[in-house]
Amino acid sequence: MTAQAPSREPRQDRSRATRLRLLEAAIDCLASAGWAGTTVSVVAERAGVSRGAAQHHFPTREGLVTAAVEYGVEVRMREMRDRVAAMPGGRLTALEVVTVLGEMYTSPLFRAALHLWVAAASDERLCALLLPLEAKVGREAHRLTVQALGADESEPGVRETVQATLELIRGLGLADILTDDSARRTRILTQWARTLDSVLGPAR
């Protein structure tokens, strides 16, 4: 350690903490106010960070929101990975998997991402930033679901059934944005877990 370290470390910590506060505020802001209501200034105010500091970290709102969704997805995926790793045999039951995914896709993070994706459909610059993130999130969610289910993708139809599971849950996320769809969602996911058990059964 040099003599400078004590003063530099706290500054780096403060900078990292500021960045995290901005990312979390951006997710909340997108989820509640949508893309049109999410600017660097609004997010800075919500995070309790000066506008100058916010713009130092994130010069554009496109950069801020993309980083926010990427960060949020990483946190949720890590939580799910840890949960899977902590289970005996390193996997969950089909019902546990669809329940965890169902919670993830009805969270403020999903709402935030949904606002962004739909805005990107008529905004080329935002679309170009989101496409690599969409591909990365899709791959990671698929890999994690296969692992959690203990699914054998070398069996015919298993890969498509896992993809269908994620699409079904994405659809349920969308079904929840205007009304509380939780009771219906629980019934659908309970039945789907039974079907998954019967389709994936022999391989597990």
- Residue ranges in contact with a second copy by CB under 8 A: 32-34, 36-37, 111, 114-115, 117-122, 127, 130-131, 134, 157, 160-161, 163-164, 166-175, 177-179, 184, 187-188, 190-192, 194-195, 199
Q: Distance (Å, rounded) from C-alpha 105 to C-alpha 142?
A: 14
Residue with Cβ nearer a second copy (20 or 118): 118
At 2, the amino acid letter reads T
**With respect to a second copy, which residue has the nearer C-beta, 63 or 171?**
171
Rounded to an integer, what distance in angstroms lies between the CA atom of residue 197 and that of residue 122?
Answer: 40
The least distance separating a second copy from the CB of residue 123, rounded to whole angstroms, comes to 8
Which residue lies nearer to a second copy by CB, 93 or 163? 163
Tell me the closest approach of the beta carbon of residue 147 to a second copy, in angstroms.
20
C-beta closer to a second copy: residue 182 or 191: 191
Q: Let me know if 22 is exposed, middle or buried by CB neighbors in 10 A (0-12, 13-18, 19+).
A: buried
Q: Which is nearer to a second copy, 72 or 102 (CB)?
A: 102
Distance of closest approach, residue 63 Cβ to a second copy, in angstroms: 18
Shortest Cβ 94–a second copy spacing (Å): 13
Distance CA 17, CA 126 (A): 26
CA angle in degrees (0–180, nearest 5) for 35-37-41: 110
- Give the shortest CB-122-to-a second copy separation in angstroms: 4
| Residue 186 DSSP class | H
- DSSP letter (8 states) at residue 35: T
Closest CA to 102 of 141, 159, 49: 141
